[in-house]
Chains A and B, each alone.
Chain A
Amino acid sequence: MGQKRKFRSSMVEKRKEVLEDLASLGGTIYDQIDAGRFPAIDMPSRSTENITYDQQLRQFILGDRRVRRSARNIRHLKPFTQLVWTAFFSNELSSQRKTSTLRDVYYSAQAYEMTFKDQQESNNIITDLETILGLSREDFNIFPEERSAVFGDLTIEYTVPGYEGRTLSLDSHPDGVLIGPALTSSEFVKTTADKVIAIEEGGLFTRFIEENVHKKYNALLVLTAGQAPRATRHFIRRLNSELKLPVYILTDGDPWGMHIAMVIISGSANAAHLRELNTPDAKWSGVWATDIVNYKLPTDPLDEVDMKRLSELERDPRYVDPLWRREIKTFMKIRRKAEQEAFSRYGLTYIVDEYLPSKLEETG
């Protein structure tokens, strides 16, 4: 309280924008009905043919192809209604400053005699709404199940009801703080950190906290817990863009870990209709295939699925950078993979004392 905000406030503006967008969507539909027309909504097509990789934005984007949902078409009628309901429900959530999960939305619909066949259907409708508004669902207060966390010297100020103005230092709990709705909607107040280290695995995240990595390297630690949820990707982006902190990503040394890093950096095709989820300047610091060779790490063989994934990544437009191409080639050559824990063969602290500093330097 009373602490002066050091950084640009974005959350309050964002909420206002969301409410305005939802109201304007409602207005468009309202006016069409009022004029005696069947309401229709245009939105960019999300079919694979309409998804292209934009080298400049360094993420996937949707092309010019658009689709029209019309209440005149009986096959569109139900999804159209579901869409309007979802917008209505999001509006309720946002204006009352409540949050909901994807699962919750699916069940809430039943209270309005709206039925979704399954959660997949309701998830799809939510994605439609994202596409129409160009906002991600977290913006209109619908969150997936959370599992990722953050730890380090960053003070945030809550904006959620009941906590407005309260602050929290993210190093106050040694298990880290859950990256949930309250955290993602909070403002950044101050930090002494000068970098962000994103970690794929919970075990290593805990080890880093125990080994005081946040202090030794002046870093904020983010646990992605596997493929980073969108809220976490957006959070990392904010750390990067609002606090100007460089981001380093540590994953397992296999095609899947490599891709976790890539999604944080360049986003996913599934989110081609959204912006500001990626952190183009983030760096993948390891574990590289070449690290497996150089550090002589204990390994497992790459199985067929791994190899198939590698050849997919080889054709992926995000993997153009020489570093990535070199690593893919090396993986294919050595046909081995290693987990982050593999460094423990040199002692528990080796990864923190030796590997990390050298990689931060190499990729910094």
Chain B
Amino acid sequence: MAILYGQITTHQPATIVSSTGVTKVYLYKLMIDIQRNRPIILDRKVLINKEQWRGTLVEFSLEGDYLRAMPKILDYFKQTAMVNPYANLTFVDPKGRLYKFTRVTKEMPAPPKETLPHPYGVDVELLQRLIQVTPYKNMLDFLRNHFHRVGEITAQKFLESSELSPSKNPRKLSHEEIVRLMHMLRRFKDFLPPDASCLSPLGDELLKAGIQKELNPEFVAVHQRKPATYAGHPFIIEAGIAYAGEIPRRGSFLVYRFANRIPLLYDEASDVSVKVITDMNWRRYHVSPDMPLAIVVHICSTKVPYKTVGKEFIADRVEVRREIANALREVARQIQLFLSRREHVDRERKRLGVFSKYLPKIAQFSTELAGKKNVPDIEKLLASVKKYGAEEEV
């Protein structure tokens, strides 16, 4: 997408250098054949990798209005750093200014495992593609080998209930039969839900570290939901809430949205997360929008339910909405606990302050009133108040 945009604005080729640390480094200079959606390779080199360099380098030019785009670009970096706390990001902008986002950890989340499509999530297009490439000659093997969570028994049961012959060659399915197959797959009740090993959420530790690093709040709470599915696609919601510190007070919550560790910058108001946040009864958690508060919502999925092709915001799907709401409730409970505890400590401190302000005065005035010489010792009284307070302060 970026290379394409560079090409249509500057018509310069992109250079890509890559090596996995073996003896060779590969260098490609290429452009995109836009009509056929294929690369046009202009130059190709294989270099000796003396230093055992490892990595990928992509270089291209693009034209843009940096002055106007600058805030969003910086946001993008900052938010990317937030959900990739193990990455070092360096950005030199067109004005020569250097931005560095330093990693705070070397831990990375477990990489996702490759997975087959789940039958609840298939469409006609996918079925047709599978049929074209499948080496299997009957429906039973076809189902067993191309779909997630479909074993022999499940496949048999499905075929039976759908009145399809297990021995039918999938390549012989007519167009109508393929459409029917899709509907049957989606309707069948006995497929197990997809497992989430194909997802790579950040996890509590990393999300917390990322928020801490980029927002530097006084308090942060995070929560990862158990995997859930919508339409056969597994997904995991992670949420975080950050309070005070360097977070500004704006009269509304700051919302950060991510999909598969990518920041979503545009069309915030249409996003399901914002709807959930707006609908939530925050007062229940003693939280109000005029507090300096940031909310982070991360959705991980094999198919992120974007509403539009622009991939700018998440659609309002019941399953997704419910998971986001539950995740936010959990972090809201945590911040409520934090706030009430802190309030309690504050109250205790204030209480002690009142005693240590007034008791000495009472002692002093009563001494003069009684015509005595020495002011009575109030330390004992103060200590008794303190001890009482200290227990509750912990």
Contact = CB atoms under 8 A, between A and B. Distances in A.
Interface stretch (A25-33, A46-54, A151-159, A237-245): A25-33
Contact of A29 (B354, B355, B366): B366
B370 A81 contact: no
Contact of B355 (A22, A77, A85): A77
B359 interface: yes
A26 B368 contact: yes
Given A33-B376, A78-B354, A71 B365 contact: no
Nearest to B355: A77
Nearest to B352: A74
Interface residues of B, number: 21
A191 B374 CA distance: 50
B365 A88 contact: yes
Contact of A114 (B361, B370, B376): B361
A235 interface: no
Interface string B339-378: 0000000000001001100110111011111111000111
A73 to B, nearest CB: 11
A36 interface: yes
A74 B376 contact: no
A77 B363 contact: no
Contacts of A29: 362, 366, 369-370
B50 interface: no
Interface string A60-71: 000000000001
Contact of B362 (A23, A71, A91): A71
Given A23-B371, A36-B380, A71 B358 contact: yes
Nearest to B367: A30
A121 B372 CA distance: 29
B376 A30 contact: yes
B381 interface: yes
Contact of B351 (A74, A113, A114): A74
Contact of A26 (B358, B369, B377, B378): B369
Contact of A81 (B351, B358, B369, B372): B358
Nearest to B374: A34
B363 A33 contact: yes
Q: How large is the interface on A (under 10, 10 to 19, 20 to 34, 35 or more residues)?
A: 20 to 34
A77 B371 contact: no
Contacts of B372: 27, 30
B369 A25 contact: yes
Contacts of B381: 33, 36-38, 71
Contact of A30 (B355, B358, B366, B380): B366
A34 B376 CA distance: 5
Q: Is the interface of A mostly helix, strand, loop or mixed?
A: helix
Which residue of B354, B369, B370, B380 has the most chain A CB atoms within 10 A of its CB atom? B369
Contacts of A34: 376-377
Contacts of A143: none
Interface string B377-393: 11011000000000000
B361 A30 contact: no
B355 A33 contact: no
A87 B351 contact: no
Contacts of A36: 380-381
Contact of B369 (A23, A71, A114): A23
A26 B361 contact: no
A88 B354 contact: no
A33 B378 contact: yes
B361 A74 contact: no
A70 to B, nearest CB: 11
Interface string A81-107: 100110110010000000000000000
B368 A88 contact: yes
Interface string A105-116: 000000011100
A26 B372 CA distance: 9
Q: Is the interface of B mostly helix, strand, loop or mixed?
A: helix
Nearest to A87: B369
A84 B366 contact: yes
Contacts of A22: 369
Contacts of A74: 351, 354-355
A27 B368 CA distance: 9
Nearest to B369: A26
Which residue of B351, B362, B368, B376 has the most chain A CB atoms within 10 A of its CB atom? B362
A284 interface: no
A44 interface: no
B339 to A, nearest CB: 22
Contacts of A87: 365, 369
A78 B380 contact: no
A33 B366 contact: yes
Nearest to A79: B358
Which residue of B354, B355, B377, B381 has the most chain A CB atoms within 10 A of its CB atom? B381
B362 A80 contact: yes
A226 interface: no
Nearest to B371: A23
A180 interface: no
A144 interface: no
Interface in B256-273: none
A84 B354 contact: no
A202 interface: no
A134 interface: no
Nearest to B370: A26
A84 B351 contact: no
Interface in A209-233: none
Interface string B3-25: 00000000000000000000000
Given A33-B378, A39-B362, A88-B365, A26 B371 contact: yes
Which residue of A33, A78, A112 has the most chain B CB atoms within 10 A of its CB atom? A33
B354 to A, nearest CB: 6
Nearest to B372: A30
Contacts of A81: 358, 361-362, 365
A29 B366 CA distance: 6
Nearest to A33: B376
Interface in B292-348: none
Given A34-B377, A77-B359, A80-B358, 7 more contacts: A27-B366, A29-B362, A29-B369, A30-B366, A33-B377, A84-B362, A88-B368
Q: Which 3 A-B pairs have the closest CB atoms?
A: A26-B369, A26-B370, A29-B366
Interface of A: 22-23, 25-27, 29-30, 33-34, 36-39, 71, 74, 77-78, 80-81, 84-85, 87-88, 91, 112-114
